[in-house]
Structure formats: C-alpha cells, structure tokens
Chain A
Amino acid sequence: MITINHYMAVSAALLLIGTVGVMTRRNIVVILMSIELILNAVNVNLIAFSKYHNQVTGQVFAIFVIAVAVAEAAVGLGVLIAMFRNKGTVQADEVDLLKW
C-alpha cells in the first residue's frame, strides 16, 4: 500500500540529491540543474499533500513553483552567460575575484 509517507520519502531523497549536487559540483550549469531538482522535490510534496487533504491548493501552489523555477532558470543562465563572456569559465571555484 502506497501512503503519503512514500511520496514524502521520494521527495526527501530528491531534496538530498539536489543538495549534494549544489554543494559538490563545480560546474555552475550543473548546480543550476541541482536547484531544479530541489524545486521538483517541493512539487512532489505539494501534489501528495494536495491529494491527502483533498484540495487543489497544493496543485495551484505547484504551478507557482514551476513559474518561479522558470524565472530563476532564465535569470541564472543569463547571469552565467554574462560571466562566461567576461571570464571564460563556468567553474564555481574559479569565481574568485572576491574572497569566498
């Protein structure tokens, strides 16, 4: 029997994978993808809760999360391109003009 707990476990696992990705990868594009993974973990939770509470609020919330994910991806990649043009790298730890 699949309960809400199973969905929460999948979501938590996705959150962890995303977090590890953000913290360990050096390639900024991959870091951005890992953030997308975390946002998807949030959405899995929201959809499952929505079903559990028998409302659609969670689904509406998930739509907003997707909209924000789009905005963040667009801006993040824009910033990345601006930096790539000036500096020619997409490695996070070569961004070292300012002390980390």
Chain B
Amino acid sequence: MSGDTFFFYAFSALALLGGLGTVLLRNAVHCALALMTSLLGVAGLYLLQGAEFLFAVQIVLYIGGIMVLFLFVIMLVNLDQASKLQQFGRQTPIALVVALAAVAAIFSMLSKSAVLLPASVSLTPLTGGNTETVANVLFTDYLLPFELVSILLLVAVVGSVMMAGKRTE
C-alpha cells in the first residue's frame, strides 16, 4: 500500500466516522467535536489533492471559526436538558431505508466503470504554487463573485446581529 493510498483511507475514515458521530451522538457538544474530526479528515483529503490553500482555510476558518461559533451557541442555549430527550424524529425509519438504498446504488455505480467522468478537458499544466494560482484565478476570472460575497457576508452580519442582538427595551 503506497503512502497516498494509506492516507486516503485514513482521512476518509476520519471524515466518515466523524460524520457518523455528528449524526448519531446524543450530546450536542459531542456532535460538534465529531464534526470537527470530520472536517479535519476532509482537510486531509484537500491536501492529498494538492489544494494546500484550501487545507489551510479549512483548518483556520472552518474548524477554528465556524465550529467555535457552534460551541458558543451550544453553551448559550444550554443543551443539557435537550440531550436527555429523545433524539430522533418520526421520519427516522423512512430516512434510514432511503439512505441504505442510496448507499447501495452509489457504490454499485462507482464500482462498475473505471472512471465515471469524461476525459479531462484542460491540458494546460498549472504552474506556480497552489496559493498563487488560486489567487490569480480568483482575482481575475472570479473577481465579480468575490466582490459579491462581501454583500452576502454583510447581509449575514446584519441579519445575525438583528436576530441575536440584545433587546433594548
């Protein structure tokens, strides 16, 4: 087993087991920790695919930022009591059956043919470091969406402050 293969299976296992933990664990804090594990595994997969910049973003922003936000809220709304309640809703059996069928369908599809995608279209090799290439594309071709994301974040900031902000009465 080569290094790449080993790391692929290791990171995938981390991502999937973490995901299962998120969905199955009872206590919300444990769920958040499991989700962090999963995100870490996904970050490892980025690294294997040569996306170093996204690897860093995933660790710093996702695990460092979003997850802390989740933990804050979990503390704030005090989920101790919630964890003693029944955790799964009424649709659980249906969801599980559908999920199992989907798993079977996907894996039978993936195991059949060698490569599912049509041959790659771009043949120009990428030059330079990953971060540099990403920055070049982001700030030329995708400049407009990049600017627009700032509107999105502005809306999110205004919205969450409005929703969760202190009441002035």
Contacts and interface: CB of A to CB of B under 8 A. Distances in A.
Interface in A1-48: 1-10, 12-14, 16-21, 23-27, 29-30, 32-34, 36-37, 40, 43-44, 47-48
A8 B58 CA distance: 19
Interface residues of B, number: 85
Contacts of A8: 110, 116
B163 A9 contact: no
Interface of A: 1-10, 12-14, 16-21, 23-27, 29-30, 32-34, 36-37, 40, 43-44, 47-57, 59-60, 62-64, 66-75, 77-82, 84, 89-93
B168 interface: no
B134 A68 contact: no
A71 B2 CA distance: 39
Given A3-B115, A37-B19, A73-B66, A27 B159 contact: no
A92 B66 CA distance: 22
Q: Could you tell me the dominant secondary structure of chain A's interface residues?
A: helix
Nearest to A18: B19
A37 B35 contact: yes
Given A71-B156, A91-B82, A32 B116 contact: no
A56 B19 CA distance: 27
